[in-house]
Structures are given as C-alpha cells and as structure tokens.
Structure 1
Amino acid sequence: MTAATSPFEADFDLITEQIRRHAQAAPQRRALVDPQHTLGYGELDALMDRVAASLQRDGLRPGDAIGICAASSTLYAAVFLGALRAGVVVAPLAPGVLPAAFANMLRDAGAKRLFVDASVAATTGPLADGGVPRIALDGSEAGQALQSWLAPEGARPQPVSPEPAWPFNIIYSSGTTGEPKGIVQGHGMRWSHVKRGRNYGYGEDTVALLSTPLYSNTTLVVFFPSLAWGGTVVLMPKFDAARYLQIAETERMTHTMLVPVQYQRLMARPDFDRHNLSATRVKFSTSAPFNAALKADVLKRWPGGLVEFYGMTEGGGTCILEAHAHPTKLHTVGRPSEGHDIRVIDEAGRTLPVGEAGEVVGHSPGMMTGYHNRPEQTRAVEWFDETGKRFIRTGDVGRFDEDGFLTLVDRKKDMIISGGFNLYPSDLEAVLREHPAVAEASVIGVPSEQWGETPVAYVVLREGQDLAADALREWVNERVGKTQRLSDLRLVGELPRSAIGKVLKRELRDLYVARPAG
C-alpha cells in the first residue's frame, strides 16, 4: 500500500487486508449473513486464514486456481476470500451448465480444488470434474466435508502480498455455449471498484442485500466494496421478490444490486409501497438494458439514489448514470467514469463524432488481462487508437449526445439486416412496451428468403391481459416504418433469461427456427 491518509486513498491495497483491519477493530460486527449463518468480521478473518493455510498445505501456490460452484452462502464467500489471501485465483462457476461446458471451464482454469454443495452435485460429478478433489461447503456427500478439510482453528497461512497485476479471479462469460471464455481480472481492477465506493456512501454501517449469484461480476462489484469498507453483506441464495422486500425492510438495507428484470418484478408487486425502504442510500443496476420508464418508476417510489453501471466483465471502460441526478437522461447509460476513455468507432476503426452511431470501445485502469488461454480471442476484442492505446470492443452499438451521455442502440450481433436496411431490435422493443398489455418483449432476426433477415417478436403479456398475437403485431406495424414491420409475433409465458437477467436471444432464435411461422 502506498502512503496515504486512508487505505482507500491508496493507489492499491488488498481487500483481504481491509477485512483483517475491520476484524481487529470490530470483531463482532456482522460481515456476512445468509439464511442459515452469520459471520462477524473476527470469525470471517479467522476462517479466511484457515482456508488460506489449508490451500497452502495442499500445495497450492500464488497463481494456482480453485473452482467454486455452489449457491451463495457465507461459507462460499469465506472460501473465495481465503483463497485470495493465499494469492490463489478463484474461478466462480455457474451451476446448471451442461457437464461438458462445466468440465471445459474447470480444465481451462486449471483448478486444483473444487468447492461445491449438494445443489450442484450432478453438474460437478466425476464425469465433469476431471478428478479434481472436491470439498463440500454444506457437509453433504458432494465432496470431502469443509470442516474436515480445514486446517485447525488458529491456523495462520504464510504471508502473501499480491501485486495489482496478479490475477484475482477468472469469470466465465459464456458457460452455457460449450465454448466458455475465462475473463481474467486482476487485484488492481478489483481495488478500483473499492475506491469507487467513496462516491456511494459505503461504510461500516452499510447493509448490502445481494440476490444475484456470487459467480457473477454483477454481484461482485458491490460485494467486495461492501466488505472492504467494513459493511455487512446479506446474501440471498435465490431471488424472490416478496422475500427480498421483507429482508430489505427488516435489515434496514442501505445498498443493493439488482438487474432490471428484478426491479421490474419488485415494482410490479401490489404491496411494494407498503414496505419501509427509507434506509436505502443507493440502488445499483447493470448487466442488461434498463428501460427509461422503469427507471423513472424506481426513482419515484423507492427512496435513495439509483445508479446504473454500463460496462463489460472484461473491463475496458465504464459509463455511470446517476439517474437521481440526471432525470432527463434516463434513456442513456450515463457518462464515462473518471479516468475511463469511451469512444464510438465505425467499421473501419475510425472514431465517430457526437451523434453518430457505431461500436462502443473503452479503455480504463481496470481492464482484463485477457481471455484465459485464448490469445486469439483476446486480440479479436482489442482495438488500438493511433497512439497504440489499448481498448476493449464491447460489441454494442451506441452514440454520444452533446452532453457526453451514451445512448445504446443495440448489440452489434443482434442488429437485423433486412432488405439492406439495418434494424435495431431495441427500437421495436420500445414500441412494444408502449402497449398497456405488454409486460416484456424481445425482438430477434430470423432467416428470410425474401429479405435475408426479418424481425420477429416474443412477448409476455401483463397478468390478466388477453390480447391476440396478430392484433398486437398489427398495432406495432402501424407505428413503425415499413422496413421495421414485424413478420411474426409470439406470445409466451416468460422469456428465457440467464441467472443475471439477460434475455437469451440465441434460445429464442433456436426456438423459432424449430417452430417457424405457419
């Protein structure tokens, strides 16, 4: 740590050392809470030491990796943090992926130990784990019991001092495809998220309620700052809107991270306004498009600030929209964070002026080292300006306005080219959401002999609404340009989503190809 008046002013410090300082100052203060357990800072610090010492006993050295695949819990978090104290890299893996994809991720990470629970035992079975020794966090038969694996109480690891460039974790962004890509994030990147916390009221009185999974970067960008600043993290293994509101009220929640579909489900509850959420300081969101009308509703009915982060797990720049401070910019994802260079480029790699749409690229102090063991894919997402400065391609299409706010048009890969015209699904989805019967909508491009591609919509109606698909399609087509007209519209009970709320458009395309119109 460089000399500074506060650890949070330092260019770099260790999150694990911050936790130790809190343990020394206030060992009884709650650090981690789940439905079954509560760990104070003193208990957490001691457990982290035992985890680190156990890994060292097993021969793991700084730079080696472990995998964790389990529901969010205090023990999951303690193992993650304890591994970091030993300089070991953590690969938090998504439950529910196909065994082959799981095996690929575990092999790619080079994990030397795998921590699991009974809920994912099938995914992490002998055929999928490649013989990696398994430790069961919950004492189940999924592996060796954690308590029998741990070094004795009072054990202390050999000191390790990670540097900013050392790998912190490997986040797998596409484990459902069978071709997982591991995004390597460094200790310096994570510390930059902690430092950003000074802007959002983190402190020893923080109570952060997290209902997204710990294998997701969405969760981790609030999880680590909350602990580094000495607050309490309350973990929900599975999101349930009614239970979330009960916990938020009882715990006097101050901070939370939710994806847009969770905000939608919370705000739609008839009893939402009866809950006392007045302790809320800041609500965060990221990972998926957050429509302006929903943001406005959150601002109107839920106390505290609303902050949207736009960026990638790969790093490469973040835009921040402090929605409470910029109510006329709710259609945007905000302005580049301090020290982040975000640009819009055309197909030839030329930087575009204000108002013109192109691919969004970004550079920041917190960028991934690269995709683990995938140098070619790493190079494919890099763009360099004329000075040699490195940027990460986002794959998003956007434009800046005159005030420096970025509006996203759509995902580049989701753009539909129909009859030579570029169509953006987000434009059509916005029109669909204007209909009072529509709760959710997703538009995809499907093959067309006449046009090359043609837009098709999948729609979820609001509860109690009865509307024919053809009638809704006609309503939309009367309000869009001729080239934008939907060729088909399907009503469904729900849209396929990832664990962090992203609509899985690939699944919708596959579904449509399997069951085309007519």
Structure 2
Amino acid sequence: MTAEDLLAQDFGTIADVIRAQAQVLGDKPALVDARRTVSYAELDALMDRIAAALQRDGVGKADVAAICASSSVEYGAVFFGTLRAAAIVAPLAPSSTPESLVVQLNDCGAKVFFLDRQLADHMAGVLDQVTATRVSLDGSDAGQPLEDWLAPEGSKPVLHEVEPDQGFNIIYSSGTTGAPKGIVQPHRMRWGQIRRGVYPADAVTMISTPLYSNTTLVSFLPTISNGGTAVLMPKFDVKQFLELSQKHRATHAMLVPVQYRRLMEYPEFDRYDLSSYRMKFSTSAPFSAELKRQILDRWPGGLVEYYGMTEGGGSCGLQCHEFPDKLHTVGRPLPGHDIRLIDEDGQEVPQGEIGEVVGRSGAMMVGYHNQPSKTSEAEWWSPDGQRYIRTGDVGRFDEDGFLTLMDRKKDMIISGGFNIYPSDLEAELHQHPAVVEAAVVGVPSKAWGETPVAFVAVKDAVAADELRSWVNGRVGKTQRLADLQIVDALPRSHIGKVMKRELRDAYQGPATA
C-alpha cells in the first residue's frame, strides 16, 4: 500500500507511512543536520534497528522511551524508531532542572533514556538516580553509544497493532504554572495532524524549535509523513537560519513569535534569497498584528498563525495573507474543531461576550499521565455530554467568527472589582517607539486587591517613570500601572512564552503598590 493510500485511511501510524515512503523515495533526503543527511531508505532501516534494540532491552508495546538532547538526525530517527516498536516517546526538555528531569523520567516510567554529553553534564549530580538504560546520541560516554547499542544491520522488530487511543508521545508541560504535567497525546491525535495536507511531498521544512516541543512536532511529523525534507537546527540562530533557508531552498518553517521578531530586526535580513518559501507558520505565544504585517511585507510566501494547546481540544487558524484586516485575531476554528466560550459557572456566553475558551476535535489528549484529578480539571462537558478541553485563555468571537484572545484566565487582574486584561496594557506599551517587548502582571495591593505592574525591555534610553506616565495617560483610570520596571529582556520558556510567574514572584516593590 502506498503512503498516499495509507494517509487516505481514517487511521494509521506514521511508522507505516515512513516505510511506504521509503519504498518509493529511496535516496531522497529525509533528515538533514549540520553533520549528516539521512535518506528515506536509510531512515526506515535505522528505525528497524532502533525498534529491535528497544524490544531487545525490554521495551514492549505502550512502554516508554525518553529522549533529552539537542535536535539531530539521531534524535529524529530514535523518535520514529520508538514508534515503530509500538512504544511511547517521552521527549524531555534539556532546560528543565536536573531534579525535574528525574521526576519526569520516573513519572513516565522510561525504560531507555537517550541523551547527549551536554545533558549528561547538566544532570551530573543526579544521573545515579536514573534507572533507565542510558544511550548516548552523540557517541559520548553519557551512555552506551548509539552505534554500539543498535541492533545489527538488517534487524527487524516485532510489529504490533497500534490502537487509535494508545499513547504516541508524552510531552511534559513547561511548568510555568506549577509542576510539569505529562500530556499523553494519542496516535489518533497525531494521525489527524499529519493528514492535514499542509506540507506537500516536495516541502523543505526548517526545524528551528526543539523536537521536545509540540510546536515543532506539528511541523516535523507531517513533513516526514508526506515525503518532505526536514532541516534540523540544534539551536536557533538568526544568521544560520537565513543561511540554511537560502542553501536548502526552504519552502516551509514553523517559528515562534520571538524568533520572527529577531529575524525582522536582523539588519541583513533583506539580503537573503527567501523566494523559495511558500508558507510560514507560528504558534505558542502572542503574535502582534504589527509583527505579522512586517513578515507579510518582507518575507515571500503566506503566513498562518495557529492557536491551540499541547493538550489538544479545539484549534484556530488565521491565514494572515488572506485576512490582513484580522491580524489582531487568532483566526477561526479549523475544520472539524468546535470552539466555545464559557463563563465562571461553566455556561456558554452569547456571541460577542468574553469567556474562557474551550475546544473539542479529533485531536485531544488522553489525559495527564498519572494525574486523573488534573485531567478532570482540564475538561468541560457540554450539556449534551461532549468532552471539551479547557484552555485557561479568555477570548471573544467577533461578528465574522474570528477569535480575539484577551489573556490567560489566571493572568487577568482584578483591581478594585474591575477586570484588567494585561494584553490591553501590553498593546499600548508596544505603541511607544522605544519599547521592544513588554509584560504586565498583577501584584498584591492592600488598597485594590491587585494592581498592574509592567516589565519592559527597550531599545532606546527612556526613564521608567516617563514611560509609565506616557502609558497611564493613554489608558483608563482603572488600568493605570502602579509600577513599571525596565529589564534587559523578558524571561521566556523554550518556545518563547513569557514566564510571567517568574516576573510576579521576583517583584519586590514599590511598597505603595
């Protein structure tokens, strides 16, 4: 059966699709990094050897293998090889603390742990607590070198039937709102994503965000399943991204907004030939309308913003090149996605009113690994008994069905009984020519319960008091900032989300706030 036939089915596995692609595409490059290129035929054979080795080491159907390393050809092959063994992949973030990584490894029950030298150095003080078999992706002594660990050439794994609701991967949340939770995404969810048809067979996709991020996987997986080529960057660098895009004649890219901003600010950006680009994507963090316009004006090809959660549920998409008057929104629900807004009592709000975003689709997590109570908290059930995932975001639909996000529900500030949306204040701050980025958080106030405080990075010298007075003269009385602090940069997660909890926790004054 051809890959096209497989992808036309209601359900299948990406491991089977790659096998079918390899039979036709053979020597076509599948994975590319700075050191080597692996063809589809080579990837397929390597997946077999990895799957056979995993099964040899006791990794059975629905067991877990964990990966924590920089993006590389080896990383991608191990990811797919684990799936061929009918096991579950747990891609972990190297930016996590060593203690948190041990907790995650124990929580997912990983039997084999793939890592590299850099990660081993990071975990040096706790590696003796890791019970999983360690395999080094870079040939270092962080574990048994991958080449030595692999099953012999020509090895074939035992193939198991995979059910739609079996776990595909476990992605741990960034921990910006507390201890990381293991989000179990099923094969059914991933199958729906790779069948969208967004990435054609001749796609050359720049992979510049980490492979442990859902942001990356929704671009990486369909590129390979549809027969394209993925160019892997171990770390994002503006100049290198542009050079690789030009060299490989890249057609697609998934970037987070902070990466787009850095690219647009790069003085040499317009000197690179990016004419091969057909489509660019973004997700994971707020994406300003002004930045979207710059990209549309200066970078060939379309631009699509996706809004959704790693947990799945409902997603929206904004084709920026088709709706230039809707750049302040995150678009409309994708086909087959049901997005609703609910109030504090769990009741749907009328069109045009603000409510928490909940969503339902074929792409939904099974739940949080080993945390049924957290799973229940993340669910909303409609009056007719349908399961939805709560986003924690607050938004409003306009008359055309486009969703405008206000803020995270937990980030909304209630000051003197009035609701203050930090995004409104951040938008005003971004109007000042000196402001590069801004974040507003609520801090405790004896007088008001909470009061807004801004943290701002600037490109030109401007006094904090002057900037605070400027923005307070442009907003309503209840929205006025109690304090504004100039910072070098905002703290961000690995996918560019501002870590507002860090700002809130570190804030020390002023005493009158």
Shorter-normalised TM range: over 0.9
Matched residue, 1:351: 348
Which residue number corresponds to residue 115 of structure 1?
A: 114
SS of corresponding position for 1:55: helix
Counterpart in the other structure of 1:145 = 145
Query: Which aligned pairs between 1:203-222 and structure 2 lie closer than 5 A?
Result: 203-222=200-219
Provide the aligned C-alpha RMSD in A: 1.6
In structure 1, what is the Cα distance between the partners aligned to 2:3 and 2:22? Answer: 21
Contact 1:96–1:123, Cα closer than 8 Å, also in 2 = no
2:13 is matched with 14
Indicate yes or no: 2:154 matched with 1:154.
Answer: yes
- Hey, what does 2:279 align to over in structure 1? 282
Distance 1:29 1:485 in 2: 58
Q: Give the corresponding residue for 1:232.
A: 229
> Do the aligned residues in 1 keep the contact of 2:200 with 2:228 (CA within 8 Å)?
yes
Moved over 4 A (4+): 175-178, 514-518
CA distance change for structure 1 residues 517 and 155 in 2, over 3 Å: closer, same or farther?
farther
The Cα of 1:104 is off from its aligned counterpart by 1.1
Asked whether the equivalents of residues 86 and 159 of structure 2 are also in contact (C-alpha less than 8 Å), the reply is no
Contact 1:101 1:176 in 2 (8 A): no
CA contact (8 A) 2:254 2:281 kept: yes
* Secondary structure of residue in 1 paired with 2:508: helix
Give the equivalent residue in structure 2 for 1:74: 73
In the TM superposition, residue 515 of structure 1 has moved relative to its aligned partner by 8.1
For residue 513 of structure 1, report the CA deviation from its aligned partner. 3.4
The separation in 2 between residues aligned to 1:339 and 1:484, in whole angstroms, is 38
CA drift at 1:514: 7.8
Q: Is the 8 A contact 1:50 1:152 kept in 2?
A: yes
Measure, in 1, the Cα distance between the counterparts of 2:34 and 2:59. 31
Q: Structure 2 residue aligned with 1:511, among 498, 506, 510?
A: 506
Residue type at the aligned position of 1:415: M
Is the 1:101–1:177 Cα contact (8 Å) retained in structure 2?
A: no
* Deviation of 1:162 (Å): 1.3
Q: What's 2:294 paired with?
A: 297
1:470 aligns with 2:465: yes
Deviations 1:43-89 (A, max 9, x none): 11111000000011111111100110000000011001000000110
The aligned residue for residue 94 of structure 2 is: 95
For 1:6 and 1:156, locate their aligned partners in 2 and report how far apart those are by CA, in whole Å: 24
Distance verdict in 2 for CA 1:158–1:411, change over 3 Å: same
- The corresponding residue for 2:457 is 460
Q: Is the 8 A contact 1:102 1:175 kept in 2?
A: no
Deviation of the 1:37 alpha carbon: 1.5
Cα 1:507–1:517 change in 2 (3 A) is farther
Take 2:374 and 2:177, find their aligned partners in 1: how far apart are those partners? 15
2:476 maps to 1:481: yes
Greater mean deviation of Cα atoms: 315-324 or 9-18:
9-18
Q: Take 2:123 and 2:27, find their aligned partners in 1: how far apart are those partners? A: 35
Out of 402, 407, 432, the residue aligned to residue 410 of structure 1 is: 407
SS at match of 1:343: strand
CA spacing shift, 1:176–1:292, aligned 2, 3 Å = closer
Contact 1:316 1:392 in 2 (8 A): yes
The yes-or-no answer on 1:270 pairing with 2:267 is yes
Tell me if the contact between 1:101 and 1:178 (Cα under 8 Å) persists in the aligned partners. Answer: no
Match for residue 173 of structure 1? Answer: 173
Question: Which amino acid letter does the alignment assign opposite residue 434 of structure 1?
Answer: Q
Q: 1:493 aligns with which of 488, 498, 506?
A: 488
| 1:314-364 deviation per Cα after TM superposition (whole angstroms, max 9, x unaligned) | 001111111111111101101111111100001111111111001000001
Aligned to 2:245: 248
Residues 357-368 of structure 1: matches in 2 within 5 Å? 357-368=354-365
In 2, distance between residues paired with 1:418 and 1:186? 41
Q: Distance in 2 between matches of 1:207 and 1:4?
A: 18
With 11-20 and 342-351 compared, the bigger mean Cα shift is at 11-20
1:130 aligns with 2:127: no
Aligned counterpart, 1:398:
395
Is contact 1:94–1:175 with CA below 8 Å preserved after alignment? no
**Structure 2 gap ranges (5+):** none
The Cα shift of 1:516 comes to: 6.5
Say how many residue pairs are matched. 512
- What secondary structure sits across from 2:507 in the alignment? helix
Distance change (3 Å), C-alpha of 1:517 and 1:295: farther
Q: Determine helix, strand or coil for the equivalent of 1:320.
A: strand
Q: 2: distance between equivalents of 1:225 and 1:145?
A: 29
Q: Residue 257 of structure 1 is aligned with which of 254, 258, 262?
A: 254
CA distance in 2, matches of 1:22, 1:178: 41
Quote how far apart the aligned CAs of 1:175 are: 4.5
SS of residue matched to 1:121: helix
Gaps of 5+ in 1: none
Alignment partner of 1:85 is 2:79: no
| Partner AA of 2:349 in structure 1 | L
Is 1:378 aligned to residue 375 of structure 2? yes
* More divergent stretch after superposition (267-276 vs 75-84): 267-276
1:99 & 1:118 partners in 2: Cα distance? 14
**Corresponding residue number in structure 1 for 2:37:** 38
> Separation in 1 of the partners of 2:378 and 2:39?
42
Q: Following TM superposition, by how much is the alpha carbon of 1:131 offset from its aligned partner in structure 2, in angstroms?
A: 2.1
Q: 2:290, 2:265 → 1: CA distance?
A: 13
2:318 pairs, out of 316, 321, 328, with: 321
8 Å CA contact 2:95–2:494 kept in 1: the answer is no
Distance 2:374 2:466 in 1: 44
Given residue 484 of structure 1, which amino acid in structure 2 is its aligned partner? Q
Q: Which secondary structure does the structure 2 equivalent of 1:39 belong to?
A: strand
Deviation by residue 1:383-437 (Cα, 9 ceiling, x = unmatched) = 1011100001000000111111100010000001111111000000000000011
Alpha-carbon distance in structure 2 between the residues aligned to 1:267 and 1:456: 28
**Are 1:101 and 1:175, in contact at CA under 8 Å, matched by a contact in 2?**
no
Give, in whole Å, the separation in 1 of the partners of 2:123 and 2:203: 35
Shift of 1:249: 1.0
